Structure 1
C-alpha cells in the first residue's frame, strides 16, 4: 500500500513538471536544450525532485520549495525568461496545482464513504483539469484579459463566502464538541466529519488566500503600470499634436513668404507710385517688413516644443518692440521632459519680457538674447535681457519688491526646481541695465 502511494507521489511530481512544459509550449515559448553544464545540472535536479515525489491532500514546506525551484529553473534555463516573470509564474503555477489537488482530495474524502481510491481520483482529476485548461488556454487567456477585474471580484466574493461558511460550520462543530465533552455524547460520525472539515480548510484555504493576495497585488501593480503607460501615451499624443501644429505654422509661413516674393514686383511698382508721399511709402514698407519678420520667426532648435515656445514668445516680443534673438541647438537634451522644457524656457522668456516692459528710458534698447552651447559635458543656456529696475540678489536668490518677486522670484524658483531634477544648476547675475540667467545641465 505504501509503495503504491510512493509511486503515485512520484507520478504526481512528474505530471506537475510535464504539464508545465505543455503550458509553456501552448503559450508560444520556444524550448531550448543544450549539452552544457547548466542544462545537465537542471535536468538532474528535476529528476531528483521527481524521485522524492509530491504528496496528496497536504503539502509540506520542503515540497513547496521543490515545486517552486523546479518551475523557476525551467523558466530560466529552458525558456530564458527574465527573473521577475520566472518568479511570478513559478508561484502562481505551483500554488494553483497544490490548490486543485488539495481541493479534489478533500472534496472526495468528504463526499465518498469508501476512501480506497482517493489518491487515484485526485491524481486523475487534477490531471484532467489541467489538460483541459491547457487545451483551451488561449480561450481562457482571452476571457481573463477581457474580464479580469470581474474574475478578481468573483474570487474575492467566493473567498469571503467560504470564510463565512467556515465560521458558521465551526460554530456548529463547537456545539457538537460541547455535547461530546459535557454530555458524554460520543458520536463517531460527528468526530470524523469535524476532522475532515478542519483538514479541508487547513489544506485548501491558505493556498486560496495566497493566490488571491498575489492576484490583488498584481492588479495594483498593473494599475500603476497602466496609469504610467496612459500618461506616456497622452504625452506622445500631445507631442504629435504640437508637431502637427508647428508643421502647419511652418507651412503657413512658407506660403506667406512665397506670396511676398511673388508680389515683390507689385510692391516695387506701388512704392514708385507713392514716391511723392514719403509718409505713405514708409507705412507701406513697414507693413511689408512686418510680414517678412513674422514669416521669418521659425526656429529649428532640435526640439519641437522649444520651437513652438520661441515662436509664440517672438510674436509677443515683436508686438512690444523687443529684439528677440535665439541661438540654440537643443538636440542633445532629449532626456529633459517636456514639462521641464516648458517650465525652464517659458519662465526665462516671460521674466525677460516683463523686465523689458518695465523700461521707460528710450535710450535703453529692449532686447532678449538666448544662447545654448556644450561646455565640458554640460549643456549651458544663457539668457540675457535688458532692464532698468533694481534687483537685490543674495545667495543666488532675488530679494526685491513684492511685485518683482511675483514676476521674477516665482519664475526663477520654477526654473531652479526643473533644473535640479537633472542635477543642474541655475546662476543669476544682475547689473544696472542687464540681467543674466545661466543654466548648467550635465549631459547623460
Structure 2
C-alpha cells in the first residue's frame, strides 16, 4: 500500500512539472534545450526532485521548496526568464496547484460516501482540471478580461464557503469521531487521517481564510484602480487626438488665408490705382484691408502648430476680456513632438483661462502671460495667470473641492505625461491672486 502511494506521489510531482512545461509553451514562452552542462545538470536535478515525490493533502515546507526550486530551474534554464518574473509565475502556479490538489483530496476524504482509490481519483481529477484550463488558456484569459470582477466575487465566495464548510466539517467529525467510525465502518487508518486533518483545519484554515480574503480584496482593489487609470489615460489620449486633428484643420485653413491675404494685397493695390478719388471707396477698401489683416497670424514662435494654438487661444481670451501676452521662442525645440506641443501649451492656456473666468472681483485684472528662456541646459516655459479661487497644493499636485474629482486635473496630468517623455519637470507655485506653472525640459 505504501509503495503504491509513493509511486502515485512521484506521478503527482511529475504531473506538476509536466503541466508547467505545457503552460509555458501555451503562453508562447520559447523553450530551449542544448546538450550542454547546465541543461544536463538541470535535467538530473529535476529527475531527483520528481523521485522525492509530492504527497497528497498535507504538504510540508520541504516539498514546497522543492516545487519552487524545480519551477525556478525550468524558468531560468529552459525559458531564460528573469528572476522577478519567474518568481511570480512559479509562485502563482504552485499555490494554485497545491490548493486545487489538496481541496480535491480532502473533499474526497471527508465525503459521507467513502470513496475508494482516493489518490488515483485525486490525480485524475487534478490532471483534467489543469489540462483543460491550460488547453483553453486564451479563452479563459479573454473571459477573465471581460468578466474579471464577477470572477473575483465568485472566487472569493467559493473559497470562503469551502473553507468554512471544511472547518465546520472538521469540528463536527472531531467531536463525533467514534460515532462516525461505527456508523460508516471506517478503519483506524482513515480515522487517524481524519483526526490529523481536523487538527490541521482547526489551526491553519482560519489563517488561510484571512490571508486569502486579504489577497483577493487587494487584487480587486488594484483592478479597480487599474481600470480607473486606464479610463483616465484613454480620456487624455482622446482629448489630445481631438485637439491635434483640430489644429491640423486650423493650420490648413490658415495656410489658405495667408494665400488669400497675399492675393488681396495685390488686388487692393490694383483697385487703388484704378479707382476714382471717392472717400467712400477709400473707406470701404480700408475696412477690407483691416479685416484681412485681422486674419493674419501675428505670432512667430518658430513652430507653426504653436503659432496656430496661440492664435486660437488669443481669440478665446479676447472673448473673455483676458489680457493675453506671449513671449515664446520655440525654434530650438524641434525634438518635441507635435502631439506634445498641443498637450503642453493647450492645457496650460486652458487651465489659465478657466482660472481667469472664475474671477468675480472687478478689481482683479484678468491676464495670462507665457514666456520662455534657456537656463543651464534647460528650456524653461513659464505660464502665469491671475486667479481668485482657492487651490490646495500638496506635493506639486492640485486638489479640488469639486464633486467630480475623477477628471479634475486631467490637464495637469496630460502636461506631466508629455514632458516626462523628454525627462522634463513641472513645478507649480500658487499665491492668493496668482498661479504660476513652470516647465523645465532638458535640451542639448
Structure-2 change in CA distance of 1:231 and 1:38 (3 Å) = farther
> C-alpha displacement at 1:370, in angstroms?
5.7
Q: 1:167 to 1:218 in 2, by over 3 A?
A: closer
Query: Which residue pairs with 1:50 in the alignment?
Result: 50
Q: Aligned residues, how many? A: 402
Please give the secondary structure, in 2, of the residue aligned with 1:296: coil
Residue 338 of structure 1: CA displacement? Answer: 7.2
Deviations 1:109-130 (A, max 9, x none): 3346475x33233233322332
Question: Do 1:378 and 1:440's aligned partners in 2 also have CA atoms closer than 8 Å?
Answer: no
CA RMSD in angstroms comes to: 5.1
Equivalent pair of 1:344/1:415 in contact (CA under 8 Å) = no
1:328–1:383 CA distance, 2 compared to 1 (3 A): farther
Task: Provide the residue aligned with 2:407 in structure 1.
Answer: none
The reply on whether 1:377 has 2:365 as its aligned counterpart is no
**Residue number among 326, 329, 341 corresponding to 1:327 in the alignment:** 329
The verdict on how the C-alpha distance between 1:8 and 1:317 changes in structure 2, with shifts beyond 3 A counting, is closer
The answer to whether the 8 A contact 2:160-2:209 is kept is: no
Aligned-partner SS, 1:379:
strand
2: CA distance, partners of 1:231 / 1:303: 29
* Alpha-carbon separation, structure 1, partners of 2:137 and 2:157: 24
Pair 125,169 (structure 1): closer, same or farther in 2 beyond 3 Å = closer
Which residue of structure 2 lines up, in the alignment, with residue 222 of structure 1? 223
Task: Give the counterpart of 1:199 among 197, 200, 208.
Answer: 197
1:281 paired residue number? 282
Alignment correspondent of 1:260: 261
What do residues 260-316 of structure 1 show as CA deviations (whole Å, max 9, x unaligned)?
344445433443466634575256335424423423246666595x55541234436
1:17-416 equivalent positions in 2, closer than 5 A? 17-35=17-35, 38-111=38-111, 113=114, 117-166=117-166, 168-169=168-169, 172-173=172-173, 176=176, 188=182, 196=194, 199=197, 202=200, 214-272=215-273, 276-277=277-278, 281=282, 284-297=285-298, 306-307=306-307, 309-315=309-315, 326-329=328-331, 330-332=333-335, 341-342=345-346, 344=348, 372-381=372-381, 406=388
Structure 1 residues not aligned, in runs of 5+: 359-366, 386-403, 428-436
Distance 1:230 1:241, change over 3 A: same
Matching residue of 1:441: 440
* TM-score normalised to structure 2 length: 0.69
CA–CA distance in structure 1, aligned partners of residues 244 and 83 of structure 2: 39
Deviations 1:342-367 (A, max 9, x none): 56556789999x9xx99xxxxxxxx9
CA apart distance, 1:20: 1.0
C-alpha distance in structure 2 between counterparts of 1:68 and 1:267, whole Å: 86
Check conservation: 1:328, 1:370, Cα contact below 8 A.
Answer: no
**Does the 8 Å contact 2:369/2:384 carry over to 1?**
yes
Partner deviation per Cα, 1:143-181 (whole Å, 9 max, x = no partner): 33333322222222223333453465466457647xx7x
Q: Do 1:100 and 1:126's aligned partners in 2 also have CA atoms closer than 8 Å?
A: yes
Q: Tell me the distance in 2 between the aligned counterparts of 1:415 and 1:6.
A: 63
| C-alpha spacing 1:148/1:254, structure 2 compared with 1 (3 Å) | same
Call closer, same or farther: CA 1:27–1:99 in 2, change over 3 Å: same
Cα pair 1:324 1:369 within 8 Å, conserved:
yes
Q: Secondary structure at the match of 1:236?
A: helix
Give the CA deviation at 1:138.
3.6
What is the TM-score of this pair, normalised by structure 1? Answer: 0.69
Q: How far is the alpha carbon of 1:438 from its aligned partner?
A: 11
Query: 1:55 offset after TM fit, Å?
Result: 1.0
C-alpha distance 187-2 of structure 1, shift in aligned 2 (>3 A): closer
Would the alpha carbon gap of residues 276 and 253 (structure 1) be closer, same or farther in structure 2, given more than 3 Å must change?
A: same
Q: Secondary structure at the match of 1:327?
A: coil
The separation in 2 between residues aligned to 1:350 and 1:144, in whole angstroms, is 42
Mapped to 1, the partners of 2:396 and 2:166 lie a distance apart of 61
Distance 2:99 2:266 in 1: 88
Quote the Cα distance in structure 2 between the aligned partners of 1:110 and 1:384: 74
- Shift of the alpha carbon at 1:12? 1.8
* Offset at residue 25 of structure 1 (A): 1.6
Contact between 1:416 and 1:425, CA under 8 Å: does it hold in 2?
no
Deviation at 1:242, TM superposition (A): 0.6
Q: Distance in 1 between matches of 2:194 and 2:131?
A: 28
Residues 250, 308 of structure 2: 8 Å contact kept = no
Between the aligned partners of 2:384 and 2:123, the Cα distance in structure 1 is 80
Q: Is the 8 A contact 1:56 1:101 kept in 2?
A: yes
SS of the aligned residue for 1:16 comes to helix
State the alpha-carbon separation in 2 of the partners of residues 327 and 414 from structure 1.
30
Does the 8 Å contact 1:328/1:371 carry over to 2? Answer: no
